[in-house]
A and B are shown apart, each in its own frame.
Chain A
Amino acid sequence: MIARNDFNGVISEWLDEQAGRGAPDYLETILARTTRTRQRPTWSSLERWLPMHVAYRARLAPINRLVWTAIVIGLVALATAVLLAAGVGQRRVPHFGAAANGQITFVQGGSLRAAAADGSNPRTLRALPEGAEQLTFSPDGTRLAYRTTGSVPSLVVAATDGSDPIVVASDAALATGEPFGWSPDSRRLAFTTMVPGAGRIGTIDIVNADGSHPNQVIHGSAAEALDRFAPAWSPDGQWISFFSTIANGQVALNVAHPDGSGARELPTSPMNPDVIEMSWSPDPALSRVVYVTGGYVAMFDLATAKETTVGTGFWPTWSPDGERIAWWSDGSQVVGVADLLAGTARPTALFPSPGSGNCADHPEAAGRSSCGPAQWSPDGQWVFAPDVVGKSILIARSDGSGHVRTIALDPPIDFWKGPGGLLAWQAIAP
């Protein structure tokens, strides 16, 4: 029995007793998780991103003025074109083509939920394993992949309603918090694992969507020589791109054939280690990628080695036909690729900026401003993104016309798991 006049003191004393003195025994488990988790880019905080507008201008201009750089790029372009031509001999996977809009699926709390393409009929499909992330439909729209982030992360492939989950890879070394990629024929997945005993060195693995034939893209001692991460498959299935950290602490964009041959670094502008976003144009006839570096989005054409600046910002995504790019730059914007290349780009603003600082600092912009990659509907007519506090999905026409629709989310999407990979729009055959 405690007899005290000071109730606050009683509470403090009791809490201290309850807390005990035993040291938790799971620090090593946490550090094992953080070891395979990459840090978020500094610029993903809006406030940190804003000043970079100036930084990128200063950095790009001198590079473009150097004539010798153009000569080097020209030579590398020639080499790249030869390499790409060499890959043409392998079987090309047919482009999936224009698709119709299936259901919008999202991770909300611990559940997989879905709504019709017009936002109606929101419903819970099933409970997901704790920490499910990177929700990704297969290109043919028939399956759904996600990754769990427990003490032993798993890569899971399931039916589009989340049923019949198959663990296709499960390993404590599976890297979490970064993208994995479907092959364009929807038969395989590429993902990052950390090389055992090699510190924070990632390598690219491939596995069939039924869990068979796991394979490492880069083998042997070469696998430990470079930290490779964030794989993405080219739309013709010939190449897997990935980032690598290089000696001076910067990041390079690489490609290799799925069998590991033809591995090479692309001659893009120097990137800082914040870069973890890259995607291929869906058009298999064009070997184009967009990526993010140091606060700006750039498009790179592998055939010509030409780099085109899209604009300041991040979170770039391609329209399904590869003719437009959406990205976040003081709000979500869309621009035509042909206009970009012609130097006549006039971006269309879709969702306005919430203001400076972190998204969570702007609850007043809920239902209006986005905070996450603007993704495309499979028919290319719509763009959707989570709002600043995760309380709704915003859906706008990709040409900026009409009103913004919303799908209310209660409880909100858990942004702590990262704004990307929690929403996906299923493609179905037209």
Chain B
Amino acid sequence: MQQELVERARRGDHDAFATLAAAAIFRLDAAARLILGDPEQAKDAVQETLVRAWRDLPTLRSAARFDAWLHRLLYRACIDEVRRLRRHRFDVDLAPIDHPDLDDATAVMVDRDQLERGFSRLEPEARALIVLHHYLDLPLPEVAIALGIPLGTAKSRLHRALQSMRAALDADARPRAELAEGRLA
């Protein structure tokens, strides 16, 4: 069904494209909000994604690749959005995060604020990796295609991104644990 719509949209059928866009906009908007952390920026990125998708659909080589292609467009639009804003404002220069080795099996006690802080400290490219894999549930090979990077690079970057996040969470949690033990008094 989707492939038929893509084929029709490729031939200029705007109604078919509207159906595809309606089906995709929720997940694109949610993913963009997660990557960019700002609803207005996300809206701009999704608009750019879908306008580019419509304009460039005739050049899509395989209708079966539509979703992966759309995710790649979204990723590019999000990164463009970040670059655009960087030119117009001063970004807070975050201190580098230590990356202690953490065993995946280690139990983690986290609250949502900590997760949000840890996630927001990641570079947008790293946030995009996590969102594509853990929110959109794309397998890593699909993520690699969407980001235009080799599979091995996607794997290592995802591992590093998650490590960074867990390290940040750990660093956040440490003072509280120490406070609880009376060591910071």
Contact = CB atoms under 8 A, between A and B. Distances in A.
Bin the interface of chain A by size: 35 or more
Contacts, number: 138
A37 B88 CA distance: 28
A273 B47 CA distance: 25
Interface string A352-376: 0000001010000000000000000
Max chain A Cβ within 10 angstroms of own Cβ: one of B77, B87, B162: B87
B88 A110 contact: yes
Given A24-B43, A27-B22, A47 B112 contact: no
B61 A45 contact: yes
B11 to A, nearest CB: 9
B61 A47 contact: yes
B18 A19 contact: no
Q: Interface of chain B, helix or strand or loop or mixed? A: helix
A23 B24 CA distance: 11
Contacts of B111: 1-2
B64 interface: no
B135 A16 contact: yes
Interface string B12-27: 1010011001100110
Interface in A40-64: 40-42, 44-45, 47-48
A273 B84 CA distance: 34
B7 interface: no
Given A39-B12, A47-B61, A15 B134 contact: yes
A7 B158 CA distance: 13
Given A1-B110, A110-B87, A200-B14, A11 B134 contact: yes
B59 A40 contact: yes
Contacts of B22: 27
B21 A31 contact: yes
A109 B85 CA distance: 10
A2 B112 contact: yes
Contact of A12 (B14, B76, B87, B135): B135
Nearest to B33: A19
B171 interface: no
A3 B107 contact: yes
B80 interface: yes
B8 to A, nearest CB: 12
A416 B80 contact: yes
Contacts of B106: 5, 7
Contacts of A414: 80
A109 B84 contact: yes
Max chain A Cβ within 10 angstroms of own Cβ: one of B58, B131, B148: B58
A27 B21 contact: yes
Interface string A123-158: 000010011000000000000000001000000000
Interface in A266-303: 273-274
Contacts of A37: 51, 54-55
A111 B56 CA distance: 24
Contacts of B87: 109-111, 127
A173 B105 CA distance: 57
B76 A416 contact: yes
16 contacts: A1-B109, A2-B115, A5-B108, A7-B162, A10-B115, A11-B134, A12-B135, A19-B34, A26-B47, A30-B46, A30-B51, A31-B21, A34-B14, A37-B51, A40-B55, A130-B84
